[in-house]
């Protein structure tokens, strides 16, 4: 089913959709979210935080837009897939906390304030801790109630609390830090 979108949320001003978006399967969406998060862990340091200047992207939405253009090669195809992503996130957000968090991070859910990059950093740290050294993809399945061993949940809680306690101070080992231009 195709849906025309009138509000691009956090993507407003980046592009104008030329065609309505298609609501895709939740499995497609979870794979897309996982791919974005995986690349964000590596390249996210290029996104500005706390008013930092000299960063390649001013916010997460600009980074996700560029990610789509790089992935699909053609701007027109990237924009079609991005509209599909927005429509699909809105269609599945009520069913999945993973999808809802992704939609909040991008500011594309109606009536939900866009989450800060600090919230997203904390969320991704928790997801990484929950994965327990395994690929994050193992947590992005169709089932939101994936069984995770209690030991891993305990370790995750500890790491997330530590991450929250240190959130006021930038972590030099984090890949999601502002990049300062070299002189």
Q: Looking at residue 179, what is its pLDDT?
A: 37
pLDDT of 149-180, one tens digit each? Answer: 555 566 666 666 666 666 544 444 444 443 33
- Burial class from Cβ neighbours inside 10 Å (0-12, 13-18, 19+) for residue 24 reads middle
Q: Looking at residue 175, what is its pLDDT?
A: 42
* Alpha helices by DSSP H, 73-169: 75-92, 97-106, 117-131, 150-165
pLDDT of 114-163, one tens digit each? Answer: 887 777 777 777 777 777 777 777 777 776 555 555 555 666 666 666 66
Q: Looking at residue 176, what is its pLDDT?
A: 41
Confidence category of residue 41, pLDDT binned at 50, 70, 90 = confident
pLDDT of 59-112, one tens digit each? Answer: 788 888 989 999 999 999 999 999 999 999 999 999 888 888 889 889 999 888
Q: Which residue has the tokens 């691009």?
A: 8
Confidence category of residue 12, pLDDT binned at 50, 70, 90 = confident
Q: Looking at residue 163, what is its pLDDT?
A: 64
pLDDT of 17-29, one tens digit each? Answer: 888 889 999 989 9
123 token code pair: 């969320």
SS3 151: helix
Q: Looking at residue 174, what is its pLDDT?
A: 43
Q: Looking at residue 19, what is its pLDDT?
A: 80
Q: Looking at residue 29, what is its pLDDT?
A: 93
* Cα 58 to chain centroid, rounded: 15
Of 5 and 106, the structure prediction assigns the larger pLDDT to 106
pTM for the predicted model, two decimal places: 0.72
CB 34 within 8 A of CB 137: yes
């Amino acid at each position: 089913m195709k849906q025309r979108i009138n509000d691009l949320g956090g993507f407003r001003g980046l592009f104008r959709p030329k065609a309505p978006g298609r609501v895709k399967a939740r499995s497609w969406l979870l794979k897309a979210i996982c791919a974005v998060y995986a690349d964000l862990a590596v390249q996210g340091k290029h996104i500005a935080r706390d008013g930092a200047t000299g960063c390649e992207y001013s916010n997460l939405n600009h980074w996700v837009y560029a990610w789509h253009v790089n992935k699909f090669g053609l701007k027109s195809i990237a924009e079609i897939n991005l509209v599909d992503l927005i429509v699909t996130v809105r269609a599945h957000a009520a069913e999945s906390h993973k999808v809802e968090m992704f939609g909040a991070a991008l500011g594309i859910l109606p009536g939900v304030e866009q989450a800060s990059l600090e919230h997203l950093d904390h969320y991704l740290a928790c997801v990484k801790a929950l994965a327990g050294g395994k690929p994050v993809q193992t947590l992005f399945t169709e089932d939101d109630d994936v069984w995770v061993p209690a030991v891993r949940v305990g370790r995750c809680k500890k790491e997330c609390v530590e991450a929250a306690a240190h959130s006021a101070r930038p972590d030099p080992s984090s890949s999601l830090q502002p990049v300062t231009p070299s002189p």
